[in-house]
Structure 1
Amino acid sequence: MGFHSFESPYDWSRIDTYRRRAEQCPGGLVDLSVGSPVDPVPRSVKEALAAAADDGQARGYPKTAGDDSLRQAATDWFRRRRGVDLDALGADLVPTVGSKEAVALMASLLHLGPGDRVVQPKVSYPTYAIGTQLAGAQVTTVDDPANTDSWVDLPGVRAVWINSPGNPSGQVIDRAGLSKIVRAARSIGATVLSDECYAMLDWSGTTQVGQNVSIPASPCILEPGVCGGDASGVLCLYSMSKQSNMAGYRAALVAGDARLVKAMTAYRKQVGLIVPGPVQRAMRAALEDGEAVMAQREIYSRRLRALVQALTAYGYDAVMPQGGLYIWAQARSGDCWADMADLARMGILASPGEFYGDSHRLRFSSTISDDQLELALERLHTGA
């Protein structure tokens, strides 16, 4: 597993000029560019982290595969929130040091390389492509992976990335679409990689099929009706960063095909990609605290709806996303960089769509404080 070179337009230094211009605006910068949570970490998570600060999980080496209590909490969470029985599917799981490293290393851990092809959405999180490039494999982008005819007959397809709800588009793939992707991938021996880190932030009205479900969630690739009751060739990624404001904890997991997960776990153990013991305890608390997740959902829903209204008033074709934290809007000028300059004049910083595969759009994040939100709303409504 050697790293190859990579290239990407995803370079935040490219927006520094617009940031400096926005900072000079009276009242300062309103940053709608980065999806980094700003709200408090749930009390249950903080208490779990503090309680584990000097226990055996902190003093000794933690388990790469996750301690028994975390594994049980994650298994229960999949059953309760996602309608998925991991044991019945022949699935396994492993915690990861945030979801970004899991994404970036996935192609390498699957032993992909030159001659192999990884399919991903054309508009998507840039690390999918970077991870494929690091492995030396070929990136192939398609408008919609659920249109399986666009990739199933291409030579060398070994993996297919999907992201639902998507970043930046907010698109949610329904169960029929997910099932179609799984069937097509299996027909050519490819692995389905489903990034579901925004799953508990679904605004589409989709209802989940799990037991005692009280929090709406987008469909899961591991639902038996989607994967046929078998996790073979299917991996699901999930993160605590969005649902519980734990981006700094670097707390995520991969679940699915037991053969693939066990192989990845062995590599993780050897290179030290192990979630710290106290963080594993915090992850358990986050998975068990549905009330905190529901409260955070309400906050993001309110902020997104307010931003949609203000952006529309300013002239954007803004609509509520089906899921996730972002508004993905067509640039008023037709060019994301021209719009970046216009918004910077008002002290607002957005994220250029070019970073995600479409230079004609911008991404606006709802991960801002309520004070900053009010300032953004005022500026967009007045145009100054």
Structure 2
Amino acid sequence: MGFQTFSSPYDWSRIDRYRRIASAVPGGVADLSVGSPVDTVPDSVQDALARSADGKDAHGYPATIGSPVLRQALKDWFRSERGVDLDSCGASLLPTVGSKEAVSLMASLLHLGEGDVVVQPAVSYPTYAIGTQLSGARVVTVDDPADVESWVSIPGVRAIWVNSPSNPTGAVLDAEDLAAIVRAARSIGAVVLSDECYALLTWTPGGPAGEPAPCILDPEVCQGSADGLICLYSLSKQSNMAGYRSAFMAGDPNLLGPMTTYRKQIGMIISGPVQAAMVAALADRQEVRIQRDRYFRRLSILVDALRSFGYQATMPQGGLYLWVRSRGGDCWEDMETLASLGILPSPGEFYGDSSHLRLSTTVSDAVMDQVADRLGS
């Protein structure tokens, strides 16, 4: 059937005008639009990449399912960082070339199409909807997937996207909410797709939270079974490896097994050196803690600066973005105002709500200090 057409307001060329305005301000643009990490890749990751540059999985073909060392590292990480024993819940693993390709191809790899429905939050990462449209299935948005009554009786629901912590809002679903989603989805034979890419970036008013966001494969959530569940995770933010395209899925082997077969045939394989780098990143928990502290400091500075400028900004529950209501009621008016100060956010329309702005903290400390100065002047 091939890819179907899609439509989306998610087009970065739409903010080019505001980028030009911001770039003309003395000192240049402070770009808080795209969430692209700027901090150093951990030394442990760089060393592992270099050591494996001429390894067996570099000059030869690596395994689509990941090397035995990577698969064990992923199991160890789930156990230590997420409180999940993949073997006990019967989950399998599949590395992906970044999380975006997994998200965008998900509905197609699940064989969804005309007549099928994929539920997602109304305010969310745009690629969920784009991926559903590419498959030919229909997108249905709800305010909160945890309100299962809003979608469980809709005819044709085959999958439900959840994202906790959310991009862009930072909202975190608790274990009880996730368990309710799982029960409802299983009652209608639908798959739960849980994007948990920011799970280790959770916040309290005083600093990083002690616990990550709950996992869809947590035994309290999944009742000891991965049936009908897929968890997605990325190393892009926790270890600054966006350019490494290093991510993975864990969940129902009856779903991931066929996906693995397709990926073998079309060559969607993480390179051997990057797999070795992933092993190092998963083990280097100290560097993850350092990065968490960086994001918390930047979020705190940005919250205070936006408040001083008249925004009702609060620390998110998780993630690395601030989601704030525009002062004038329309994101594009605020885009103009902030661009005149040399600050470039993302318009909330990209994420489903044109009354808000999203501001990323994936900038250096110096740039965040510059943002604070501009908003306070």
Normalised by the length of structure 2, the TM-score is 0.98
Cα distance in structure 1, aligned partners of 2:204 and 2:3: 39
2:85 aligned partner: 85
Q: Are 1:310 and 1:380, in contact at CA under 8 Å, matched by a contact in 2?
A: yes
Give the corresponding residue for 1:351.
Answer: 346
**Residue 74 of structure 2 corresponds to which residue in structure 1?**
74
Aligned-pair CA distance for 1:131: 0.3
Alignment of 1:1-384 (within 5 A): 2-204=2-204, 216-382=211-377
Amino acid at match of 2:89: L
Alpha-carbon offset, residue 259 of structure 1: 1.2
Question: For the residues of structure 2 that align with 1:335 and 1:161, how far apart are their CA atoms?
Answer: 27
* Distance (whole Å) between structure 2 residues aligned to residue 5 and residue 258 of structure 1: 30
What CA distance in whole angstroms lies between the structure 1 residues aligned with 2:147 and 2:204? 20
Q: Any idea what the Cα deviations from partners look like across 1:259-287, whole Å, max 9, x if unmatched?
A: 11111111100011101110000111111
Contact preservation (8 Å) 1:29, 1:348: yes
The superposition leaves residues 338-375 of structure 1 with CA deviations (integer Å, 9 ceiling, x where unpaired) of 00000011000000000000000000110001111111
Are the aligned partners of 1:200 and 1:215 in contact in 2 as well (CA < 8 Å)?
A: no
Q: One-letter code of the match for 2:172? A: V
Q: Deviations over 1:2-60 (max 9, x none)?
A: 21011100000000000000000111110011100000001110000000000101000
TM-superposition CA deviations, 1:70-116 (whole Å, max 9, x none): 00000000011101010111110000000000000000000000000
SS in 2 for 1:36: coil
Q: Deviations over 1:194-213 (max 9, x none)?
A: 000000101148xxxxxxxx
CA distance in 1, matches of 2:182, 2:367: 42
Task: Find runs of 4+ consecutive structure 1 residues off by over 2 angstroms.
Answer: none
Question: Over residues 151-198 of structure 1, what are the superposed CA-to-partner deviations in whole Å (9 max), with x where a residue is unaligned?
Answer: 000000000000000000000000000000000000000000000000
Query: What letter matches 2:135 in structure 1?
Result: A
**1:32–1:348 CA contact under 8 A, matched in 2:** yes
Counterpart CA distance in 2 for 1:25 and 1:295 is: 32
Partners of 1:81 and 1:215 within 8 A in 2: no
Query: 1:215, 1:294 within 8 Å by CA — same for their partners in 2?
Result: no
**What do you get for the CA RMSD once the two structures are aligned?**
1.1
> Quick check: 26-35 or 120-129, which moved more?
26-35
Maintained 8 Å contact 1:194/1:236: yes
Q: Distance in 2 between matches of 1:33 and 1:313?
A: 20
Equivalence for 1:210: none
Q: For the residues of structure 1 that align with 2:370 and 2:218, how far apart are their CA atoms?
A: 42
Cα distance in structure 1, aligned partners of 2:91 and 2:342: 48
For 2:34, give the aligned amino acid.
V
AA of the residue aligned to 2:109? L
Partner secondary structure for residue 86 of structure 1: coil
- Structure-2 separation of matches of 1:77 and 1:319: 31
Extract unaligned runs of 5+ from structure 1.
206-213
Q: How many residues align?
A: 375
Gaps of at least 5 residues in structure 2 are none
Which residue is 1:211 aligned to? none
